[in-house]
Every structure is written in C-alpha cells, then in structure tokens.
C-alpha cells in the first residue's frame, strides 16, 4: 500500500469520544500522520465498552488505528509548551473541545495561527459558537433528539434513538470532508483556516427532508417506528424465524410486489395505490398483505423470493449474524486488528470508500497509551533528561 493521498500531512488529534477522533482516523486512513494526544491516565473515550485487562474499549479500537499516542497534561505551562511545539510542526489540529478548553490549552484559532499561520483548526461542538445553546455540551443522542429524528423514529408517546451514533460519525465524516477542502484551498493560497462542525447541524442535515416537508406543509407527522410514511410496503415484517425489512419505492417496484403477492390486478387498479405517497397514506391493507405473506415463510425463504422478484429486502440481523453474513465477509471491509490483551483480533471497519489508484485504510493497530511519547518529544527537540523531567513532573 502506498503512503496515501495525505502522506506528508501531520494531524494532531486532541479529540474525545467520536466526532473529533474519527475525523482524525479518516485522515490517517488516507495517509496522514496522526498523533493522538490524551491524558496521562488515558482519556475517557479509550475505555468505552472495555475489551482488554487495561480497559481499552471498542470505541477506541474503531477510532484509533494508524495513530501514535502521546500522553500530556496540556493546561500546565510545560504542557502548553509541548503543545506549542507540536502545533508548529503540524498541518491540522482536530479538537472537539469547548472554547474555554481550547483557550486553556492554547488551541484556539488565534493561538494556533500565532505559532503556525497556515494551520487548519478543525473543531466540533454540540451547538456552534452562536445562539442560546452555544455554551452547552452534548452528545450524539442530543442531536437525534433535537432534530426531530427520535420523535419520528419512535411511536406516539415513545420516541426512539438509533443505537448507531450516526450524528457523531457523520459529524466526523463532514469534518474530514471540510479538512480536505481546507487542505486543497491551502495548496492554492498558502493560507489555513478554521473548519467548524456541530452535532446539531449534522443532525438537521441528515433529517432535513422531513424538516423541509414540515416547513412547507405543516403536516405534523407522528412517529411510526419502522414504517415509512411516504411509500408502501416499507416496513419490518415478521417471518417464521425472524424479521425482514422490505422497502418498496416507485411504481415499478410496487408492480413487482403486487405480482409476487399473486393478486396484481387488485392492487394496481385501486386508486388509493397509484403513487408512493398515496400508498404511504393508505398503507394498512398493503402492510397486512405483506405481513401475511412473510408469516408463512422463513427469513431465508422470504429473502430468496423477494430477491427473485427484484424487490430490495434484507434480514434483520443480530450483531453476531452481521459478522457472519457471507456478503460482509466477501467485502472484507472489517479488518482483523491485533491489540495486546484482546482475547481475539478485533474486526475494525476499514476506510469506508475505495480509491482505485491511491487506496488507504488500516496500516497499524491502535497505539498503547503513551506508546510514542518519547519518540514524539525527541522529534520536538527534548532530550532524555528533558523527557525524564517532564515525566517526573507529571506532564507526560
């Protein structure tokens, strides 16, 4: 594998939890050198869903491949000096931290550009720098809740959050997208800039089609769980041994569904079922017919017949079934990563896009806590005595 399209770019990762660290991970998958800076005892996101005797967890495994690890207390004077030296030799600084924390660590944009004028500072906050909630913190679920997504995903009186933290990860992807744009622009102008992303902004963008509809029509949709309200049959259906998700959109697919049900003329001649929206508005008979059809078949049988009919469908898997699926295995997207203390290799998602000429992806496992501290400090001009003093003083 080549060094990647970002070979020669150095990224400082001061991120916590997902939005910042996974942004840096994606840049590392594309070939950037990424230095993860964390607390001497390990930052909190290292220990979510622990897997090893030392507590290293699943979120850390997903967001830390290809990185080096430097431990640091960055709010101390000596720690700020280490940070200043790091910034001076880095292209991108990623920090999803509150503005006050950025200032205390010397990572606000003014401090960063005073050291390196062409640096790119990438920040992620819950709500951005303006507005009544600017000083509030937040996590993925807050974005899901405040965008309206939880309300519609659930049912009346019972809102539901997606288990997949899509707001966090999408914010990370958009941050990496913005970073690439800033790097391209810097190549033209020689100037750096800020890249700012927000959890609420991401959540609003992902859920925007529903908000567009509401802003124009005032329709006031109620939550409907797995049932899609703008087409039918689009829902989750029970089989004899599990569940399948079927999504039928467009008249062509609806005709295929009607043919598979065996009473095509009934469905195609009914004026209630002439468009996606009319089928969504009058979905109960369509859903009842599909439930009855699925209830007579195993999941495998239903999927086979739906596939033969040309209808998009998939089985509802447990996490273990997802790992065992032959298509998942054929894609080889989940890479086995060895890490000290794991009872078996962790299956970590590789770079989510394929580049035909300059492929990137996982090259190294996540770093052990502080694994590269001495190496990095030496590259910044600290000698062995300096490093010993910093360690004795609790700085690294």
Catalytic residues: 168
Question: What are the b/e assignments for 153-184, b being 16+ CB within 10 Å?
Answer: bbeeeebbeeeebbbbbbbbbbbbebbbebbe
What CA–CA distance (Å, rounded) separates 213 from 219?
A: 7
- Please state whether beta strands 67-71 and 92-95 pair in parallel, antiparallel, or not at all (unpaired): unpaired
Strand partners, 322: none
Question: What are the b/e assignments for 21-37, b being 16+ CB within 10 Å?
Answer: bbbbbbbbbbbbbbbbb
CB burial class (10 A; 0-12, 13-18, 19+) of residue 264?
A: middle
What CA–CA distance (Å, rounded) separates 207 from 153?
A: 11
φ, ψ dihedrals at 50, nearest 5°: -60, 145
The single residue listed with the structure tokens 């974005």 is: 143
Angle between helices 199-206 and 166-189 (to 10 degrees): 110
Q: Are 66 and 99 in contact (CB under 8 A)?
A: no
Question: What are the b/e assignments for 103-129, b being 16+ CB within 10 Å?
Answer: eebbbbbebbbebbeebbbbbbbbbbe
List the alpha helices (DSSP H) in 116-250: 140-146, 149-153, 166-189, 199-206, 208-217
What CA–CA distance (Å, rounded) separates 266 from 249?
A: 18
Q: Are 227 and 280 in contact (CB under 8 A)?
A: no
Strand partners, 96: none
């Amino acid at each position: 594998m080549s060094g990647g399209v970002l070979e020669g770019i150095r990224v400082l990762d001061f991120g916590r939890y997902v939005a910042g660290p996974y942004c840096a991970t994606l840049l590392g998958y594309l070939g950037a050198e990424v230095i993860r800076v964390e607390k001497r005892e390990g930052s909190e996101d290292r220990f979510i869903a622990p897997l090893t005797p030392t507590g290293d967890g699943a979120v850390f495994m997903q967001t830390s491949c290809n990185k080096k690890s430097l431990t640091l207390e960055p709010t101390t004077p000596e720690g700020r000096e280490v940070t200043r030296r790091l910034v001076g030799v880095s292209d991108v600084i990623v920090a999803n931290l509150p503005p006050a924390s950025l200032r205390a660590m010397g990572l606000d944009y003014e401090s960063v550009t005073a050291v390196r004028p062409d640096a790119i500072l990438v920040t992620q906050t819950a709500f951005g720098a303006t507005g009544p909630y600017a000083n509030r913190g937040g996590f993925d679920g807050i974005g899901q809740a405040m965008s309206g997504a939880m309300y519609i995903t659930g049912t009346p009186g019972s809102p539901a959050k997606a288990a997949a933290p899509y707001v966090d990860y999408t914010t990370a992807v958009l941050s990496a997208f913005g970073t690439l744009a800033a790097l391209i622009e810097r190549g033209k102008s020689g100037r750096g800039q800020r890249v700012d992303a927000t959890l609420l902004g991401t959540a609003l963008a992902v859920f925007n089609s529903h908000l567009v509809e509401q802003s124009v029509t005032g329709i006031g949709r109620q939550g409907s769980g797995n049932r899609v309200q703008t087409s039918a049959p689009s829902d989750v259906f029970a089989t004899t041994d599990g569940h399948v998700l079927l999504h039928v959109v467009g008249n062509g697919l609806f005709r295929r569904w009607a043919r598979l049900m065996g009473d095509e003329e009934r469905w195609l001649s009914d004026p209630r079922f002439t468009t996606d929206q009319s089928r969504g508005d009058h979905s109960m008979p369509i859903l009842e017919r599909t439930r009855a059809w699925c209830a007579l078949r195993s999941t495998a049988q239903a999927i086979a017949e739906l596939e033969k009919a040309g209808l998009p469908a998939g089985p509802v898997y447990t996490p273990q079934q997802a790992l065992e699926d032959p298509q998942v295995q054929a894609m080889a997207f989940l890479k086995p990563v060895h890490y000290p203390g794991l009872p078996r290799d962790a299956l970590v998602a590789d770079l989510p896009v394929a580049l035909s000429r300059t492929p990137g992806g996982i090259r190294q496992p996540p770093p052990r806590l502080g694994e590269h501290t001495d190496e990095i400090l030496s590259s910044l001009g600290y000698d062995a005595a300096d490093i010993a003093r910093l360690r004795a003083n609790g700085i690294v």
